[in-house]
A and B are shown apart, each in its own frame.
Chain A
Amino acid sequence: MKKVAVVGVGETKFSGPQEKTEVELFAEAAMEAITESNLKPKDIKALFIGNVLGDFAEGQGMVQSFAAENIGCLYVPANRYEGACASASMAIRDAFIWVASGYYDIVLAGGVERAATMGTGLATRTFAMFSDARYEYPAGITFPAVFAMLTHLYADTYKIPLQKLREQMARVSIQSYKHGSANPRAQFFGKNADMTVEKVLGSFMVSTPLTLHDCCPFSDGAATVVLASEEVAKKLTGKPVYITGTGQSSCGPLGNQSDYLPRIRAREISSQRAYEEAGLKPQDIDLCELHDCFSIASLIATESLGFFDYGTAGEAWEKGEADIGGKIAVNPSGGLKAKGHPIGATGAGQVYEVVKQLRGEVEPERQVEGARLGMTDTLGGDGGTLVNMIFERGW
């Protein structure tokens, strides 16, 4: 296997409904990444693009071919990945494997989505397609409902009074809003920095016990990365960020995960594989962009990733151990909660943030000082797809 580096990243602002098409959004992020890499579109050997619901949002299928042609990547292979909210991470991980194999030397990977454009009703319906259509959807499952049930199960499993757990979860949202408010590309840039526990608990109830401020927004946006082999990377940039370990895992309907819930077993398998490949342990990681689609999801994720013991992540947030300057800096971008969640692009947005952090290029108030090792964690469906990747500063 060849060593593989991220040589350039690009991202649109993540936002609510907007007028640019998916092809236009992807092009904006892609040209930023290609330009930053000191490359031209003709240098790209293949495109791997995450896109989940373009068929529903715009009536556009096969967006990857139109996106490739739009930016002048002519006649190259272009593949679309659909793994619900983990789609872009799947695309980047596969791009990594192709470059590591030596088959391609330069690949553009990323994703695009217009989830906000769909509106709450259609977005809620289509997101529920990532639960089991036959055995779960008839009961009226929605994505908030999945994590709402995990919240009650978490409280019961670890014997934490629900009110106390909800207050701990509010701390997750407050921390994310704080960092997102300082991130110009975040959907909630300049907003909600004054969030309080009382405001989170008192906001609109979505699915008990999750309120609006426990839930990430629907978002439009795109993000991309350019991956290159080590020898190519060294010619392109003085600041290569190497991908040193990855893992991916899958599993079935929520009920079939009952031996482990509220733990997400697919995440444990995926992250252990990534740690082994990188030769690292959880305590080595400086920052992690993880899949906080709901506040409870952050607690569950940090425990399965090995940052905190099972049932203790809420306390960690209360003590600031999951913040910049704590044991592990979680979601300095603002995460899905405050940066936004354009589902087909989310994983690429996480990689964008990790790369910028390792280069020391983010706003000072949310920069993790001296960060050398970063990790991403992306979840699709109710645990159906999990992708983890570990990144290392290459200079």
Chain B
Amino acid sequence: MEQKLIFKDYNEALKQNKLLGLKCRDCGAITVPPKMVCRQCASPDMEVVELKGSGKIRTFTTVFVASEGREDEIPYTIVMVELDDGPWIMGNLEGIDPKEASMELVGKKVKMGNKVFPGDKYSAGEGARPLFSLV
């Protein structure tokens, strides 16, 4: 059985600012990032849907110690966003000073764009991530 939505297609869509997910035909739950089965009921009977990409920040951090190869990116802010469609996804937050990120961000509404991590020698290629901004 093939997974309905694989990373390659999810990634290509994200690079066009389209967030693809999977809607379960059995329980209606939305699963993103993509998996073989529904994150709520484990049914494989799901269809690919385009999500809005909007949501609210649930938590965040600003990173000051980078992984090898990503030293030029610090400081940067990572956020976990609860999508209006339900699931939480990880991305970065732009349009703020990372050094000023505070608890006031929690609960703030965001919209989604994207930014591509070009990859390193371990990553088997590039990968886009959601790049959020406050609305």
Select which of B62, B67, B82, B87 is within 8 A of A208 by beta carbon: B62
Q: Is A124 an interface residue (CB 8 A)?
A: yes
Give chain B interface residues in 63-113, CB to chain A under 8 Å.
63-71, 73, 76, 78, 80, 82, 87-92, 101, 103, 106
Given contacts A142-B65, A256-B39, whether A125 and B122 have CB atoms under 8 Å apart is yes
B68 to chain A, nearest CB (A): 4
Do A142 and B66 touch across chains, with their CB atoms under 8 A apart? yes
Contact of B78 with A258 in the complex, beta carbons under 8 Å: no
Q: What is the CA–CA distance of A129 and B39 in the complex, to the nearest angstrom?
A: 22
Interface assignment of B58: CB less than 8 Å from any CB of chain A: yes
Interface residue ranges of A140-189 to B (CB < 8 Å): 140-142, 144-145, 148-153, 155-156, 162
Specify which of B59, B61, B69, B127 is in contact with A134 (CB 8 Å cutoff): B127
Residues of A183-225 whose CB lies within 8 A of B: 204-210
Which chain A residue has the least Cβ–Cβ distance from B128?
A138
Cβ of B65 and Cβ of A144 under 8 Å apart?
yes
Shortest A384–chain B CB gap in Å is: 15
A258–B32 alpha-carbon span in the complex (Å): 12
Q: Does A128 contact B (CB under 8 A)?
A: yes
Chain B residues near A256 (CB, 8 Å)?
A: 39, 87-88
Residues of chain A lying within 8 A (CB to CB) of residue B127: 133-135, 137-138
Nearest residue (CB) in A for B76 is: A140
- Residues on the B chain within 8 Å of A124, using CB: 65-68
- Inside 8 A of A144's CB, which chain B residues have their CB? 61, 63, 65
| Residues of A with C-beta under 8 A to B71 | 121
Contact yes or no, A152 B106, CB < 8 A: yes
Q: Are the CB atoms of A253 and B33 closer together than 8 Å?
A: yes
The answer to whether residues A149 and B39 also contact, given A128-B67, A144-B65 and a CB cut-off of 8 A, is: no
Do A145 and B78 form a contact, CB below 8 Å, given A125-B67, A207-B65, A255-B90?
yes
Instruction: Report B-chain residues with C-beta under 8 Å of the C-beta of A138.
Output: 116-117, 127-129
Select one of A133, A135, A142, A152 contacting B67, CB under 8 A.
Answer: A142
Q: Check A258 against B87 for contact (C-beta < 8 Å).
A: yes
Which residues of B lie under 8 Å from residue A155 when comparing CB positions?
103
Determine whether the beta carbon of B68 is less than 8 Å from that of A141.
no
Q: Which interface residue of A156, A162, A207 has the most chain B CB atoms within 10 A?
A: A207
A60 contacts chain B at the CB level, 8 A cutoff: no
User: Smallest Cβ distance from B50 to chain A, in angstroms?
Assistant: 17
Contacts of B39 in A (CB 8 A): 256
A122 and B68 within 8 A (CB): yes
For residue A136, CB closer than 8 A to chain B, the reply is: yes
Most chain B Cβ neighbours within 10 Å, of A140, A141, A145: A140
Closest chain-B Cβ to A310's Cβ sits at a distance in Å of 17
User: In the complex where A140-B66, A207-B64 touch, is A153 in contact with B58 (Cβ < 8 A)?
Assistant: yes
Instruction: List chain B residues, Cβ under 8 A from A258.
Output: 58, 80, 82, 87-88
Min CB distance A65 to B, Å, is 25
User: Distance in Å from the Cβ of A162 to the closest Cβ of chain B?
Assistant: 5
Q: Which residue of B lies closest to A215 (CB)?
A: B65
Contacting residues, chain B, for A208 (C-beta < 8 A) = 61-62, 64, 101
Do residues A255 and B89 form an inter-chain contact, with CB atoms below 8 A? yes
Q: Are A120 and B106 in contact (CB under 8 A)?
A: no
Q: How far is the CA of A120 from the CA of B70 in the complex (A)?
A: 12
Partner of A125 from B68, B89, B91 at Cβ < 8 Å = B68
With A121-B68, A124-B65, A125-B122 as known contacts, state yes or no: A152 contacts B60, CB within 8 Å.
yes
B88 partner residues in chain A, CB cutoff 8 A: 254-256, 258
The answer to whether the Cβ of A139 comes within 8 Å of any Cβ in the partner chain is yes
B123 and A137 contact, CB distance less than 8 A: yes
Given contacts A125-B68, A125-B69, A156-B103, contact A145 B80 (CB under 8 A): no
Considering only CB atoms, which chain A residue lies closest to B130 in the complex?
A139
Please name all residues of chain B whose beta carbon is closer than 8 Å to the beta carbon of A153 when the two chains form the complex.
Answer: 58-59, 80
The residues of B that contact A210 with a CB separation of less than 8 Å are 61
Contact residues in B for A206 (Cβ distance below 8 Å):
64-65
Can you list 19 A-B pairs with a CB-CB distance of less than 8 A? A124-B66, A125-B68, A125-B70, A125-B122, A134-B7, A137-B117, A142-B65, A142-B66, A142-B67, A144-B61, A149-B61, A151-B61, A153-B80, A156-B59, A207-B61, A207-B62, A252-B35, A253-B90, A256-B88
| Closest 6 pairs between A and B when the two form their complex, measured CB to CB | A121-B68, A148-B61, A138-B117, A125-B67, A138-B129, A138-B127
